[in-house]
Amino acid sequence: MKAKTSSASLAITTDIILPSDTNALHGLFGGELLARVDRICCIAAQRHANAICVTVSVNNVSFGKVIPLGSMMTIKAQVSRSFSSSMEVIADVYLEDRDSGIQTKVNEAIYTFVAVDNNGKPIPVPELIPETDLEKQRYQNALQRRQLSLVVAGKMKPKDATELKSLFE
Ligand SMILES: CC(C)(COP(=O)(O)OP(=O)(O)OC[C@H]1O[C@@H](n2cnc3c(N)ncnc32)[C@H](O)[C@@H]1OP(=O)(O)O)[C@@H](O)C(=O)NCCC(=O)NCCS
């Protein structure tokens, strides 16, 4: 299977935040953001795998800033690392200033997807080639995040999480 670049998986969506998307303080409802990020991350994963992909884990989401009603929000998602059948996908969330058009990053989310066949059985995915400095850094750190996620999910013993241990040494 031919390796693919991280940028080949890039998926971007831009939308406006409407009243039905918001909470009592007129900011974007958290679950609404999670669903939008999940969708665009799934597209990035499917671009990398050329197969059906399902969410296996939401590794981290930070709601760093309120996304107000009426905002123009852009989400950019890319596969940051692939393993055997799983892929880490990172989404960066931006708000666009109406006057200047300048986009400012407000949130980040990290999801894991698994490529599956028509019966929902995991299948292999291509290796990922990181190119830019940011892609290389995210690729490098993805192994620690994978081990943390597997330990938290009870699918890996802490003693086997060698990359995680190196964080504390
Ligand atoms: C995802 C799914 C196909 C995995 O099937 P499985 O039989 O558990 O397969 P495995 O245990 O071999 O895991 C498959 C891969 O996922 C990875 N994985 C599993 N749980 C994980 C977690 N919590 N965090 C990170 N990676 C995880 C495994 O390490 C493995 O990766 P690899 O093949 O790259 O080494 C299955 O659990 C499933 O169908 N889940 C429901 C998916 C879904 O409906 N998502 C939408 C939720 S609303």
CA of 44 to the centre of ligand 1 (A): 17
Q: For the chain, which domains are there?
A: 4-130 (3.10.129.10)
- The string of pLDDT tens digits covering residues 8-20 is 999 999 999 999 9
Evaluate whether 128 touches 3 at the Cβ level (below 8 Å): yes
Sheet containing strand 103-116, strands side by side:
11-16, 72-82, 86-96, 103-116, 52-62
Q: Is the pLDDT of residue 169 over 80?
A: no
Mean pLDDT calculated for residue range 126-132: 98
DSSP 3-state of 148? helix
Evaluate whether 86 touches 35 at the Cβ level (below 8 Å): no
- The answer, yes or no, to whether any atom of ligand 1 lies below 6 A from the CB of 155, is yes
- The answer, yes or no, to whether any atom of ligand 1 lies below 6 A from the CB of 56, is yes
Q: Please state, as a whole number, how many other Cβ atoms lie within 10 Å of the Cβ of residue 32.
A: 16
Evaluate whether 18 touches 67 at the Cβ level (below 8 Å): no
pLDDT score recorded for residue 156: 96
pTM above 0.75, yes or no: yes
- The answer, yes or no, to whether any atom of ligand 1 lies below 6 A from the CB of 122, is yes
Mean pLDDT calculated for residue range 93-112: 97
Nearest CA to ligand 1 atom 44: 54
CA of 39 to the centre of ligand 1 (A): 17
Evaluate whether 130 touches 136 at the Cβ level (below 8 Å): yes
